[in-house]
Structure 1
Amino acid sequence: MFVSESGSPYEALFRAALSIPLSHYLVGLSLILAVFLYNFFEMHFLEDFLTGFRGQPVILTFNPASQLYHDVVSQCRIFHRRYLSTPWLCSPHLQTIFVQFFGNPPVVNYRRQIFQTSDGGTIALDWVKSDEVKKPPSQLNDEFIQDDKNPILIIIPGLTSDSHSSYIKHLAHKMDKHGWNVLVINHRGLGGVSITSDCFFNAGWTEDVREVIEYLNCQYSSASLFAVGTSIGANILVKYLAEDGINTPVAGATALCSPWDLMLWERYMNRRYAQRIYGKALANRLKKYAHLHEATLLHLINWEEFKKQQIKILHAVSTSPKYKGHSFRELIDRSTRILSNYETVDTYYRQCCNSGFIKGVMVPLLCISSLDDPLCAMEAIPWDECRLNDNVILATTKHGGHVAFFQGLTARSVWWTIAVEEFFLALQSSFLSQRKNKVKIKHFRSSTEIFNGFNTYIKA
């Protein structure tokens, strides 16, 4: 025991503290920092280690009378195995960051088709140009797969994502190897295409997807159509399927990491500091999107007088580097709500909430969600709605992040793409996917009316 001459216990404690080597303090601080980072990033390495790196089972939610489960999903081995995330990506945040900035994407080449919608909008359709599977030479004209009976997979990316995104390339490459024709629908204003009308896409905008699918159904009548939506793209896809019901020509679909309930999603994005970082990142992406199409926004300033001031605010958001914005909601209120003609942000959220649309889905639908998704709240997952609809199978994993689900030591394997692959291949061989004869082809404009041009190019 240290006793000072003055008899002060505090001075004794101070001298005792000084006698401890500095290296011990550094070790202690390192341990505290490690514990903080472990909890902040919601890491689960210890959990994986203590369970012998066996992973966690995939939880399936479905109607017990579902023929989709008994005839299709029960044949998919991946849903009856455990999912173990890449050990050095043992965190939903690490998984999500990795897929956004790295992703280990395979090389995928595209052939672009410019599609013009009925309202004058322009969409870039990127078809995967296969180097492994030989296609007929008739691909070089605007009816390049008309006689091709191979299935067509339609991919609808998430917010501000396009055909360049690594997770899109993982799925496109995998399905292309099976000889499928893979098509990525880039949202308006994305994929290097300018906005040519006064309509902007949002979480509930289904018209573009509907027109493209009707075009494919009319132009390539011999091919079965399948669709995958990711994140906001999943929200759009489920809403479209419910709106069209039995009339959709889509034979099967997958919704990956859908936000489900946008009102819960917004609250979730403000719940913790990590989520607020994601919210700011999404807001910055939307600001860049607005800045990219500044000329179009300024052209739309001839709207009603009471909207002019709000458009000027949107312009300030997109051009001023000093503008911080108070929240992601504020940006939605000053941009998407106005451009999409919604009364309030809550009105926009309610009308685009696809958890209420699940009951209207009339085609085989696989929904995949991660319980630790840092961008989508677990409590928003519509468990009961999925269980009541025998056309829907909900697969949830304990870990996986947002549109990530990397597995293996090298993180070159993506679990959800394997799940989609097995599901679609099993569905294709099932009578549940035979919808071409049941769906009436709606009136569709001729190819000369819908094509604004066809450009062939390759991008890696």
Structure 2
Amino acid sequence: MAKAVRDHIECDGFGVNVTTPDYEKTPTVILIPGLTSDSSAAYIKHLAFRIAKRGWNVVVSNHRGLGGISLTSERVYNAAWTEDIRRVVDHIHSQHPEAPLFVVGTSIGANVLVKYLGEEGANVPISGAAAVCSPWDLLICDRFINRRLVQSFYNKALANGLQDFALLHQSNLSRLTEWESIKKSRSVRDFDNYATRILANFETVDAYYRHATSSNYVGNVGVPLLCISALDDPLCTKEAIPWDECRANRNVVLATTPHGGHLAFYEGITANTLWWARAVDEFLGVLHSSPYIGIIKEKQKTTAPTPSFSIDQGPYVSVLEDGMVTAVGDEQTDDTMQEQDAPNQETANVTTNDEVILDKAEADEHVTKNDQPERYEEKDPNPTQATTLVRRCTDCLARRSSKSFWLLAYIAIVTTWPMVRPALSLLFKKRYRNPAPGGPRIR
């Protein structure tokens, strides 16, 4: 049976509390809890129990001021602060340099983990990681949880937890002055406005959210990373998931499920197990048994940097035969490249030939021509072909537009008929309600 012990790591004059079993020379898994959670949270215990059944070490890196430890400075944890997990990883690796090291983050802890991995790239002593229910983009999630009534209950619950945290350490947070506003905070954004952004030295809440967005760092993750998100998460919306960034990075595995909520994924009728805990446990087990982990990290260091694409580079568009218009950047056709290469080759041949000498008159004429402003003339070597291609694309788009028009017309009739029908009925009644001129009149 594992015996849990507590360790205290000093970070910029403040201690980070970690809970770890008394094992050595075995794989170690670091768990990062979510917002206002620590090692006593039920979902943390679920995952820790599964990992402990393997005989591995489990380390829970409690956030500052949580886990029964008081604050000794005004530095508090937030979604953008990665220095604490960096110190914890370095400390454990220095104690057990030969033991495989894994990290699992949940909710805000997942955001911190992904941001940390992106900041470090492949230069981390970690064999693999998992991020469960990460918010990815705090600005999008902030708009999401303030959008509907259901999300407002979660928003208020998280705000209450943050209020309790601030009030518990009020004596150490002298930089905060608007305590009445903190106590009246009805949402996470309110608390971040009156407390988090001030302690983290951000001018606005949105600036803090943008800086903490972990989706900006996914592309630079250099270790195997499993990301699990539920599409019905009431806190971390699917709109913030960085689909393209995850696809572009070969080290990232993105797993999304239709249901699961936020850190729920209950299994069975009694719901006594969590699916995501089992999935993470299996993922880490596969990584540990793979002989290619170290090789993959070494190759990642030599990988060419990701090319940057800018929409303002190269005002070129390509009109395809099927009517699609696509931007092609600074790319040019083979014919154009050949036409441009031909004069370049001729110029090179002239300049490298010692027998060709320009006389003074030719040189003066050459300078005079160069001094004159250039005249740009549009040249179309084959206007008929270009016109035919454009007409063909226009016809294709017209056929598609015709289909779309009739579809939109059908939708408009179906959706407006409940309102149009009473109006037409009333119109006919008004028109034909007057009796015939020769008919009897009722007085």
Structure exhibiting the larger radius of gyration computed from Cα positions: 2
Instruction: Give, as a single letter, the amino acid of the residue that structure 2 aligns with 1:332.
Output: D
Q: Secondary structure at the match of 1:356?
A: helix
Instruction: Give, as a single letter, the amino acid of the residue that structure 2 aligns with 1:338.
Output: I
Instruction: Give, as a single letter, the amino acid of the residue that structure 2 aligns with 1:113.
Output: D
Equivalences for residues 306-385 of structure 1 within 5 A = 311-313=176-178, 315-317=179-181, 323-325=183-185, 327-385=187-245
Determine if the alignment matches structure 1 residue 261 to structure 2 residue 125. no
Instruction: Give, as a single letter, the amino acid of the residue that structure 2 aligns with 1:215.
Output: H
The match for 2:63 is 187
Determine if the alignment matches structure 1 residue 110 to structure 2 residue 21. no
Residues 326, 162 of structure 1: alpha-carbon distance in 2 compared, 3 angstrom cutoff: closer
Determine if the alignment matches structure 1 residue 121 to structure 2 residue 20. no
Determine if the alignment matches structure 1 residue 275 to structure 2 residue 151. yes
Determine if the alignment matches structure 1 residue 423 to structure 2 residue 283. yes
Give the number of the structure with larger relative contact order, counting CA–CA contacts within 8 Å between residues 6 or more apart: 1
Distance between the aligned counterparts of 2:3 and 2:261, measured in 1? Answer: 27
TM-score, length basis structure 2: 0.65
Q: Is the 8 A contact 2:122 2:297 kept in 1?
A: no
Determine if the alignment matches structure 1 residue 294 to structure 2 residue 170. yes
Q: Give the deviation of 1:200 after TM superposition.
A: 1.1
Q: Is the 8 A contact 2:223 2:297 kept in 1?
A: no
The match for 1:85 is none
Instruction: Give, as a single letter, the amino acid of the residue that structure 1 aligns with 2:252.
Output: V
The one-character-per-residue Cα deviations of 1:116-137 (angstroms, maximum 9, x if unpaired) are: 21x1111110114xxxxxxxxx
Residues 157, 242 of structure 1: alpha-carbon distance in 2 compared, 3 angstrom cutoff: same
TM-score, length basis structure 1: 0.63
Distance between the aligned counterparts of 1:223 and 1:189, measured in 2? Answer: 29
Q: Is the 8 A contact 1:163 1:186 kept in 2?
A: yes
Q: Is the 8 A contact 1:154 1:184 kept in 2?
A: yes
- Overall identity of the aligned pairs, in %: 52
Determine if the alignment matches structure 1 residue 205 to structure 2 residue 98. no
Distance between the aligned counterparts of 1:238 and 1:421, measured in 2? Answer: 18
Q: Give the deviation of 1:217 after TM superposition.
A: 1.2
Q: Is the 8 A contact 1:122 1:194 kept in 2?
A: no
Residues 287, 356 of structure 1: alpha-carbon distance in 2 compared, 3 angstrom cutoff: same
Deviating beyond 6 angstroms after TM superposition, the runs of 4 or more aligned structure 1 residues are: 435-439
Residues 289, 418 of structure 1: alpha-carbon distance in 2 compared, 3 angstrom cutoff: same
Q: Give the deviation of 1:331 after TM superposition.
A: 1.4
Distance between the aligned counterparts of 2:124 and 2:267, measured in 1? Answer: 34
Distance between the aligned counterparts of 2:6 and 2:225, measured in 1? Answer: 28
The one-character-per-residue Cα deviations of 1:218-271 (angstroms, maximum 9, x if unpaired) are: 111121100000000000000000001111111100000000110100000111
Q: Is the 8 A contact 1:224 1:436 kept in 2?
A: no
Q: Secondary structure at the match of 1:335?
A: helix
Residues 167, 244 of structure 1: alpha-carbon distance in 2 compared, 3 angstrom cutoff: same
Instruction: Give, as a single letter, the amino acid of the residue that structure 2 aligns with 1:312.
Output: T
The match for 1:305 is none
Q: Give the deviation of 1:109 after TM superposition.
A: 6.6
Equivalences for residues 156-171 of structure 1 within 5 A = 156-171=32-47
Distance between the aligned counterparts of 2:184 and 2:79, measured in 1? Answer: 23
RMSD of Structure 2 on Structure 1 (CA): 2.0
Unaligned runs of 5+ in 2: 300-443
The match for 1:174 is 50
Q: Is the 8 A contact 1:126 1:184 kept in 2?
A: yes
The match for 1:433 is 293
Give the count of matched residue pairs: 299
Q: Secondary structure at the match of 1:409?
A: coil
Distance between the aligned counterparts of 2:67 and 2:296, measured in 1? Answer: 31
